[in-house]
Chain A
């Protein structure tokens, strides 16, 4: 990567920024990015990248011999322009410590991903604490936020659409890589829930905002960090592992039983839903909207059936299942009187990986919604049953994740674990929400089926060996229409 020369790359890149930037001119940077971007996990446009358009470069700091800038750029893609941000540090000496995030070398200068540089992340944090405006960027603390600016920053994990920097044990900065113009729902929801006094979310501490495509856009969100917490997914799979290791014990008899945690998790989710409803209000779907809801589910399944044989095979039954749900959907009591479908702001992408077991209970994180959906869709109201269906599916995945021997005994025990924990989750939810999600059987089952069909499509494309996990759920749901 360090051997690259700008001359070797197409010159079709457009350059819109002023001259005199470090690392030579804009074309040099966009040329570097053209080779570097496709290998980045957060870079969604797979396929040939021929053009990177630099939209804005904001000088952030000079640290020693390093110059740090924030870069907004766009790339073309079949579904329209995609927008990204990148933080780049330039240095004349080969950056040994950051070789793993080196972008490239041009004009005798090395560029690397600056978020990994502890000095840079420290500047970003203190800019937020100070509420600075730098060029087009606004760093702003939340009112009354206490920010420990001495904490050392570290980039954790590799995420799909953003990069997170953890500061000591006190805060975490989520830098959105891929941008959609406008207020990010994660920031919006965190603020609203904090104002509602929710104890199941991280405290919002600050944001970085800037103009993207003419709209004020959230570029990064700083929240409190749950030190010493663990992901719900890791805890659930530990429990499943424990069950599978005991040949003769039932799910409720093994030491690693997870049901009491699932119960508390259900309570936490119900509380967050209640807080969201209080903060953003609720609405009822009219008959047309309910029809549209199920029509979109059917359409989604038809789309998947077009390229996934296992769904095509079951398509008639899936249609029938959604049809049954639509008939009963507005009338969970079955008397035809029509119980309204209530919608509100929801999490949108809820699953065990979005839950954290903290020392004081469960917390819910990442209110961005499904990253692949439009911002409007992610901010729209939806039935909270969609979140619950997401959790139901997640328990199912956790139960089957080990992929061990696929004999009937293993499958039976996985099913037993999933059923036990889904039940416990719903009981916990009911204890707080005042209604049991399982009483909304047909509607919940429809959301679960919708989700499972999407999962089959995803696994079919990405992890074919996992396809049977959601597929068996599809089969179960179209047969019985039962959930939990």
Chain B
């Protein structure tokens, strides 16, 4: 096929979808955020699923207008950027990651106009918004696939990867081992096999067909014109496939990402690309692109192996699972930032741990077989930690202080539970619990009409765990989380500082400093984070000689600790306790209560 299609069928004028910004004078109307090219390096992200957050029209399903209603809450919490998983038109056989029409909003969520209003409302509150873009595949109900299977010689004949048999690319692993026996599925219509790295109802797009890349870039422009601040690119390692390879991280894939980045940099500066590349850090860094030019592919990548290892470290009461993976994490280009998370809408991924470790995690965190999904664990943060408040605080403190921009998962800020009896990954996608009222305050609908039942058990149920109750209790997890986010923002070293693992005398204590030199006149700083991974109180002696003479000031209360001297610095921590300290340089801002002795060295003689 040689003909390049300018307008994919989904843009036909009889489509009811929104066609772009409704503007009179050529300029689009969506507000854009003030220029701040590296905002994503400091941002606190919050993943929110439109379906699960708030239902504005009482149909039992969350929608865009509902989310708009709750933006004040997210703003109060301190969220800087929303990550919204797919809201596109979809048959919903994979949570919306099976897209039927890229330019249309799933009708039950609202319209493109609603989405434009959401962007506007977010930006008014200083909140940015990024959304998933699935480039690797579409739904088999997408018009492109229907055209492709029905008319192999037509303009979409090559949009997907077709073959006469299922023997190609044998080195590519099957990702959803639970449900898919092969990466090839026979299509009875075209009488050929099509290639799919995920579910068999999600055929992979054929990036060797020039029209595919062009069409996807046009789709990016469509949403960027609307004011969106960036994309999380779903499943990027798999775009291209080549015989004799495992079909991941191929050079062609990187070339396409560079093309996307150019479009963003040239036409939409300040917007970002975030890669979902569930790979080892040494491979993931390739998705930042060329370090020489500061990175020319994605601005951010999720650090997948870190998350399971945080859980493992706490279970083993050993810092090594975390220290090891961070030691193996290479430096990233200057415009880059990691994205880190404790939980998200997917299962707790165990792809990036060794088999031995995976068995270990299964045994430790998923005691019931229903808790296991694919090769992950489908639980929320609170139940994973046996609802232990200290553990939740410790984990959140690490999330907010380890290198990378943290991404919270909706509901974890109030310690929501899960429902492992729901199918697939729905167990962690139950309605947000706003109040003890009907349907957790999520919807006014008949409870039987809810897309998923709200959690109702006595421990995690909405009668007990909800935003309203925690708002009214300043000692709640919600208030605690908000305070910690606030502290993080006051100290740019948390976001921008160099990470340096301190080791220390006690293997169950993870200690590190984040040092930020300061830039553009903004002050730098050093923060020290000490985390007790054990249930039991622990001492630790730290080598802080680099900071001899400095006074560590505890960040939640402002209490100055004894100054750092020649000898190892001794700290004691309660079980699952942690400290955040601001390391104030020697002779700088002498901490109150440390006597008023004059510093003779700094006396000026005129």
Contacts and interface: CB of A to CB of B under 8 A. Distances in A.
Contacts of A229: 503
Contacts of B327: 228, 359
Which among A227, A228, A231 has the greatest number of chain B C-beta atoms within 10 A? A228
A230 B545 contact: no
A256 B533 CA distance: 11
B600 to A, nearest CB: 14
A260 B501 CA distance: 24
Interface stretch (A233-241, A318-326, A455-463, A475-483): A233-241
Contact of A230 (B363, B364, B503, B534): B503
Interface string B496-531: 000001110111100000000000000000000000
5 contacts: A228-B323, A234-B506, A255-B317, A256-B315, A359-B320
Interface in B306-341: 315-320, 323-324, 327
B568 interface: yes
A154 interface: yes
B324 A359 contact: yes
Given A241-B534, A359-B324, 5 more contacts: A154-B566, A230-B506, A234-B506, A241-B317, A357-B320
B566 A245 contact: no
Contacts of A227: 503
A152 interface: yes
B503 A255 contact: no
Contacts of A118: 566
Nearest to A229: B503
Which bucket holds chain A's interface residue count?
20 to 34
Contact of B507 (A235, A245, A260, A360): A235
Given A255-B315, A260-B356, A241 B536 contact: yes
Contacts of B507: 230-231, 234-235, 238, 357
Nearest to A359: B327
A373 interface: no
B212 to A, nearest CB: 43
Nearest to A228: B503
A256 B508 CA distance: 10
Summarize A's interface: helix, strand, loop or mixed: mixed
A63 interface: no
A461 to B, nearest CB: 28
Nearest to A245: B535
B508 A238 contact: yes
Contacts of B393: none
Contacts of B505: 230, 234
Interface residues of B, number: 27
Nearest to B509: A230
Interface of A: 97, 116, 118, 152, 154, 156, 166, 227-231, 234-235, 238-239, 241-242, 245, 253, 255-257, 260, 357, 359-360
Contacts of A255: 315-317, 364
B543 interface: yes
B545 A154 contact: yes
A294 B318 CA distance: 41
Contacts of A238: 317-318, 507-508, 534
A96 to B, nearest CB: 11
Contacts of B566: 97, 116, 118, 154
Nearest to A252: B363
B323 A256 contact: no
A64 B507 CA distance: 40
A280 B385 CA distance: 52
Nearest to B501: A228
Contacts of A228: 323, 327, 501-503
A118 B502 CA distance: 20
Contacts of A231: 507
A245 B505 CA distance: 22
Contacts of A235: 318, 507
A166 B545 CA distance: 11
Contacts of B503: 227-230
A256 B316 contact: yes
A154 B543 contact: yes
Nearest to A166: B543
Interface in B137-161: none
Contacts of B546: 152
A287 B316 CA distance: 48
A239 B317 CA distance: 8
Contacts of A116: 566
A156 B317 contact: no
Interface string B401-424: 000000000000000000000000
B356 to A, nearest CB: 6
Contacts of A239: 317
Contacts of A359: 320, 323-324, 327
A238 B510 CA distance: 14
A97 B548 CA distance: 12
Contacts of A97: 566
Which among A116, A238, A357 has the greatest number of chain B C-beta atoms within 10 A? A238
B305 to A, nearest CB: 14
B355 to A, nearest CB: 12
Nearest to B327: A359
Contacts of B534: 238, 241-242
**4 residue pairs, one from A and one from B, having the closest CB atoms:** A228-B503, A230-B507, A255-B315, A359-B327
A181 B534 CA distance: 46
A256 B360 CA distance: 11
